[in-house]
Chains A and B, each alone.
Chain A
Amino acid sequence: MTIREGPHHELEFARIEPIEAELLQQISPAAEPGGDERAESRLHPKPAASEETKLLEDWEELVRPELRQLFLSSRETVETDLKALKLDRHGLGFFSIPRTHGDAWLNALNQARLVLAAKFAFTEEELSRYEPPLAFSRRDLVLLQMNFYAMVQERLIEALNRGV
């Protein structure tokens, strides 16, 4: 898969293999905490020490709903953009997104990676491991999924920085 800036400054995703297309479709579902407390608390960490009770209460009431809405909106943007994914004559996928959607994509990809990392309690050592394992467990496959999302994030950041 390649990600580059198009002629009208849009971001073009091209040469998308079927497995990559499936992983892209899984961004939004993967970002759903699904009642997992670790994932939920990672998406919404406390903004201050526990003795700052008033601040924490106000945050819970006023800020957290806004953050939830922001995260939901980012995932919806990704879902909508992915509906434009088509196949070229080689059977590889392609689609493009407005440059203004870049932040939503980075946000949704980050949500997915953070939720997966929290749900599977990956260690820092595992997250920085590059060698493929000898046998793939579900945990290894999730790590691959997270690394793929990290790669997409890196390419998006590069493409966005080039256009500054």
Chain B
Amino acid sequence: MPETAVQDKTEVSLGLPWSVVVHNDPVNLMSYVTMVFQKVFGYSRSRAERHMLEVHHHGRSVLWTGSREKAELFVQQLQGYLLLATLEKARE
């Protein structure tokens, strides 16, 4: 019984949408962060800049929300570019 309960919880958790969040970092250059958002998410320059400025002014920006598997992949790519990126369960 406990095993089933854990499994159910995990399945529910995996099924939730997850968000990819990038946090502010005073070292990374604005131009570099913008370039990385364009490369990783395929965003236009203006959309990438909007997210970059949100990170800069508000400390974080949600870049993408969707399946956990894909969110993990995006976070791996962003950390590969040395950005401070995390994934978290999407807020209701």
Report the bound CA distance from A111 to B82 in whole Å: 7
Other-chain residue from B29, B84, B88 in contact with A49 (beta carbon distance below 8 A): B88
- Do B32 and A157 touch across chains, with their CB atoms under 8 A apart? yes
Contacts of B75 in A (CB 8 A): 47
Other-chain residue from A45, A47, A114, A157 in contact with B27 (beta carbon distance below 8 A): A114
- Do B29 and A45 touch across chains, with their CB atoms under 8 A apart? no
CB within 8 Å for A47 and B87 given contacts A154-B29, A154-B31, A157-B31:
yes
Report the bound CA distance from A66 to B73 in whole Å: 12
Chain B nearest CB from A56 CB (Å) reads: 11
Report the bound CA distance from A124 to B27 in whole Å: 8
Other-chain residue from B26, B72, B82 in contact with A110 (beta carbon distance below 8 A): B82
Chain A 97-110, CB-CB to B under 8 Å as 1, else 0, gives 00000000011001
Looking across the interface, which residue of chain A has its beta carbon closest to that of B39?
Answer: A103
Q: Does A137 contact B (CB under 8 A)?
A: no
Looking across the interface, which residue of chain B has its beta carbon closest to that of A127?
Answer: B26
- Do B86 and A48 touch across chains, with their CB atoms under 8 A apart? yes
Contacts of A106 in B (CB 8 A): 32
Which B residues from 20 to 39 make CB contacts under 8 A with A? Answer: 26-29, 31-32, 35
Closest 8 CB pairs of A and B: A124-B26, A110-B82, A117-B27, A157-B31, A127-B26, A47-B75, A70-B80, A63-B76
Give A contacts to B, CB under 8 Å. 43-49, 55, 63, 66-67, 70, 106-107, 110-111, 113-114, 117, 124, 127-128, 146, 150, 153-154, 157-158, 160-161
Give B contacts to A, CB under 8 Å. 26-29, 31-32, 35, 72, 75-76, 79-82, 84-88
